[in-house]
Every structure is written in structure tokens, then in C-alpha cells.
């Protein structure tokens, strides 16, 4: 086997499906690969034939030209597949296993990994802690919106599904375990959601909908989702969330209409650095809007979960500070209210097995909640365009025909 097809970033607003190299057990030079990683041997790796690989909102930031991603970077960090080769250092993962690939690449050996902080592994990215497939400044590990992908440290990283037939039957749910379901759930957990909580989630994209799903699993009494997209708000209501339309103004007053008070116990930012203003300012980018509004509406002593992406390099930032990730956050509000907040990559391995069990035992239907929609790999440019235009769908790419029989 020597051929491979993959989705590559070409220029702002443009992706293409290209012919690319079939993976080997060595990290080779290419777009975005850190020079210190070139030639790195991966005897502990596995080559995965992709069953499903999803378009993520984080990918959209790159495709819009809002990061320093280089041309021809192969995209994709949400990967589910079948193991077709293993390196000589792999002991437990076997050819034929159906697996979920956490989007965090982690070595399992460093201090952070041993403490469960797999989103900030110290050994996989020479530039900074933390890595991911197909993402700018993340070490250059090749992306998984492809027919085949290399997964390093396979015994550590891969989550094997216990039964092949059951996994394939529920694959549209299980493919969400690579990123958005754990990420949304992490947002709810770090916001302190528990039985009886009232929760506000900013953003009704797939991560926001996953956060709402997670809050419900955790026993929240009321889950309120805010957005400006009517179709995405309707999707949130389809599984029991309350919604507010942010084109009509700041969330506090609308929350009061639902709860009787203008505040919630817990809040989640599922928007990130391309946030827009509320109400009359909804047409203008205002990257600190969500963070500041969440501090306003979260009760004193509460917490904010912030799975929404913030970056240190944004060529399209509204001013010089925003281009470096420096935002005008009302830290004084947070301090006065004794609020806490958690940022950064979700440590997927902390949650993925438990959420897998919830899926396999029919406790949650995450694919339905995020409106998962399978499309061929060759249709990826259309999927990116429709998602960027606000489609209330989670696009799942089908590179090898596994989903055709569903």
C-alpha cells in the first residue's frame, strides 16, 4: 500500500483533497513539521485506516486564515479507525482493532502525562507543551482527514472499542470521542456542573452542543445555550436545552426570563477567540465578549470552563493586541466574584473511556445531538464551506467507505 488521500489547507478559505504519502514509522519533513521532529522514529506507533474523521471548528480557524498555518498542511485531529500496521514497539494494540484516537498526542512517559495532563505532554512538540494531529504549531504530526494516519505511542494513546460489530454500529457516536464530546464534557466538568446546577453555554456549535449534552449527563437542572444562529439554537432545543438569541442583547436579561435571576451557577465558553459582540454589536468581532459576559452572569464563587480556542498568533486579529492573543478581559470582575476558570486543551484520555461506556450502553446519543452528517472525503471542501457558513451539522468524513453500509 503506497497511496493516500488527504485534506490540505491551501489558502484562506480554500482546502483541497490531495494525494499524499502513505504513513511510515518515521516523522518526515513537510508543511508544519517542526525541524526538530524531522526524522523522529516511531517504533511505538500504529498506522490507522480511517473509518471516520471529522471537521472541527478549530480547523476552521486555520482555514479562515486566522492562524499561521502553512500551505499544504494536512488537516484533521478527530480520528476513528482500524489498525492496519503496528510498529515493533507496540505490545497490546493489534491489527484489526477498532480505535478512537485522542486529538492530544501524548507520550505517556513525561511528568504531565503521568499526572493525567495529556493535553500538555512535554515530549511530542519541541516548541511548547501539547500537540495535536494536523494543527499549526503542534509539532507537525500529520493530520487525520485522510485515508491513513500514523498514531505515535499507540499502546498509550489509542482507545480500543471492546466489540467490533457494536463499534461499527455506533460509529457515528463513537467518532465524537476523539475530541468534541470529551472537550464539551471537560468544559462542563471544569465549570463545576453537578446535580441541580444551572448552566449557561456560550456557542451552539458542535462543542457547545457537546457541552450541553455533558451538562445533562452530569445532572444539571437547567442548561441554557446562547448563539446568534437560529438553526444551531434549534438543534440545541431538539434535545432539551433552553436557548437564548444573542442578537437580541446580552445574555443576563434573557437568562432571568428563564430562571428568574440573571445569573447561573456555571458557565462554559465554547466560542473562543473569534467571538462577536451581542445585540447591536453582533456584526462586529469582539474577542473578549464571551469571557467578560460569562464573568458577569456567573454567580459569585462559580467557575468558567473554557474549551473554546484562544491563540497566541492571529493574523486577522482586530488590533495588535488581539493578534498576539492579548484580550481586554475584566479580570477585576472575576476577582471580585471569586470566580475560577480553566483553559487549554481537554485531556481527552481523562474522559473518553467513560463516555464510550455511556454511548455503548445507550445513555447518550451525541451524534444525534450534534446532527452528525457523513460525507465522502472528496466532499470535504463543501463540508468546510457549509460549516463555515453556519450549518447546524457536524460533518463526518468517510475516507474508506466504512460508513456507506450504515
* Confidence bin at 243 (pLDDT 50/70/90): very high
On whether both 324 and 378 belong to a single domain, the answer is: no
Q: What length does the chain have?
A: 406
On average, the pLDDT of the chain sits at 95
Q: What is the pLDDT of residues 294-351, one digit of tens each?
A: 999 999 999 999 999 998 888 888 889 888 889 999 999 999 999 999 999 999 999 9
Maximum Cα interatomic distance, the chain, rounded to a whole number of Å: 62
User: Once rounded to an integer, what is the mean pLDDT over residues 130-153?
Assistant: 95
Domain boundary among 291, 321, 342: 342
pLDDT of 287 > 70? The answer is yes
User: Once rounded to an integer, what is the mean pLDDT over residues 390-402?
Assistant: 96
**Predicted pLDDT at 2:** 62
Q: What is the pLDDT of residues 9-48, one digit of tens each?
A: 999 999 999 999 999 999 999 999 999 999 999 999 999 9
**Predicted pLDDT at 285:** 85
**Predicted pLDDT at 403:** 94
On whether both 185 and 301 belong to a single domain, the answer is: yes
Lookup: cell for 6 = 488527504
Percent of the chain clearing pLDDT 70 (strictly above): 99
Under a CB-based contact definition with an 8 Å cutoff, are residues 46 and 106 in contact?
no
On whether both 114 and 79 belong to a single domain, the answer is: yes
State the total domains in the chain: 2
On whether both 218 and 332 belong to a single domain, the answer is: yes
pLDDT of 366 > 90? The answer is yes
Domain boundary among 301, 321, 342: 342
3-state helix, strand, coil in the chain (%, to 5): 35, 25, 45
pTM: 0.96
**Predicted pLDDT at 286:** 86
- To which H or E segment does residue 221 belong? none
On whether both 250 and 166 belong to a single domain, the answer is: no
On whether both 261 and 352 belong to a single domain, the answer is: no
On whether both 364 and 336 belong to a single domain, the answer is: no
On whether both 197 and 152 belong to a single domain, the answer is: no
CATH number at residue 14: 3.90.180.10
**Predicted pLDDT at 223:** 98
Q: What is the pLDDT of residues 46-92, one digit of tens each?
A: 999 999 999 999 899 999 989 889 999 999 999 999 999 999 999 99
Task: Name the residue range of residue 193's domain.
Answer: 180-342
On whether both 121 and 216 belong to a single domain, the answer is: no
Beta bridge partners of 79: 53, 101
On whether both 66 and 147 belong to a single domain, the answer is: yes
**Predicted pLDDT at 406:** 43
Please tell me whether residue 269 adopts helix, strand or coil conformation.
strand
Domain boundary among 290, 308, 342: 342
On whether both 23 and 160 belong to a single domain, the answer is: yes
**Predicted pLDDT at 216:** 98
CATH number at residue 273: 3.40.50.720
On whether both 331 and 378 belong to a single domain, the answer is: no
Dist. CA 388–CA 176, nearest whole Å: 19
Instruction: Give the torsion sign (CA, 53, 58, 63, 69).
Output: negative
Q: What is the pLDDT of residues 248-270, one digit of tens each?
A: 988 999 999 999 999 999 999 99
User: Once rounded to an integer, what is the mean pLDDT over residues 159-172?
Assistant: 97
Amino acid at each position: 500500500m503506497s497511496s493516500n488521500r488527504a485534506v490540505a489547507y491551501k489558502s484562506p478559505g480554500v482546502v483541497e483533497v490531495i494525494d499524499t504519502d502513505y504513513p511510515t514509522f518515521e516523522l518526515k519533513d513537510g508543511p508544519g513539521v517542526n525541524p526538530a521532529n524531522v526524522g523522529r522514529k516511531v517504533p511505538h506507533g500504529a498506522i490507522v485506516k480511517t473509518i471516520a474523521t471529522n471537521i472541527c471548528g478549530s480547523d476552521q480557524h486555520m482555514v479562515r486564515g486566522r492562524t499561521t498555518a502553512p500551505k499544504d498542511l494536512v488537516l484533521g485531529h478527530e480520528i476513528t479507525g482500524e489498525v492496519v500496521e503496528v510498529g515493533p514497539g507496540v505490545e497490546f494494540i493489534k491489527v484489526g482493532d477498532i480505535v478512537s484516537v485522542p486529538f492530544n498526542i501524548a507520550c505517556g512517559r513525561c511528568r504531565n502525562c503521568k499526572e493525567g495532563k495529556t493535553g500538555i505532554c512535554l515530549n511530542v512538540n519541541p516548541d511548547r507543551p501539547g500537540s495535536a494531529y494536523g494543527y499549526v504549531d503542534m509539532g507537525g504530526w500529520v493530520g487525520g482527514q485522510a485515508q491513513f494516519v500514523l498514531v505515535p505511542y499507540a499502546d498509550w494513546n489509542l482507545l480500543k472499542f471492546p466489540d467490533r460489530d457494536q463499534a461499527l454500529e455506533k460509529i457515528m457516536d463513537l467518532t465524537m470521542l476523539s475530541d468534541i464530546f470529551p472537550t464539551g464534557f471537560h468544559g462542563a466538568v471544569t465549570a463545576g456542573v453537578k446535580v441541580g446546577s444551572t448552566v449557561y453555554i456560550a456557542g451552539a456549535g458542535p462543542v457547545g452542543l457537546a457541552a450541553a449534552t455533558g451538562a445533562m449527563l452530569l445532572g444539571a437542572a437547567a442548561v441554557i445555550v446562547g448563539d446568534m444562529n437560529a438553526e444551531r439554537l434549534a438543534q440545541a432545543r431538539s434535545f432539551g436545552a433552553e436557548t437564548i438569541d444573542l442578537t437580541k442583547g446580552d445574555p443576563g436579561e434573557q437568562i432571568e426570563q428563564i430562571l428568574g435571576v440573571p445569573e447561573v451557577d456555571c458557565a462554559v465558553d465554547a466560542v473562543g477567540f473569534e467571538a462577536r459582540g451581542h445585540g447591536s454589536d453582533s456584526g462586529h468581532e469582539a474577542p473578549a465578549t464571551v469571557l467578560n459576559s460569562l464573568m458577569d452572569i456567573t454567580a459569585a464563587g462559580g467557575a468558567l470552563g473554557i474549551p473554546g480556542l484562544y491563540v497566541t498568533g492571529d493574523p486577522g486579529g482586530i488590533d495588535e493586541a488581539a493578534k498576539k492573543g492579548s484580550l481586554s478581559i475584566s479580570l477585576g470582575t472575576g476577582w471580585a466574584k471569586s470566580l475560577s476558570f480553566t483553559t487549554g486543551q481537554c485531556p481527552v484520555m481523562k474522559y473518553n473511556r467513560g463516555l464510550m461506556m455511556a454511548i455503548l450502553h445507550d445513555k447518550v446519543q451525541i451524534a444525534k445531538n450534534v446532527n452528525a452528517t457523513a460525507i465522502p472525503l472528496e466532499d470535504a471542501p463543501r463540508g468546510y464551506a457549509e460549516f463555515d457558513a453556519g450549518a447546524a451539522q457536524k460533518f463526518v468524513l468517510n475516507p474508506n467507505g466504512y460508513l456507506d453500509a450504515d
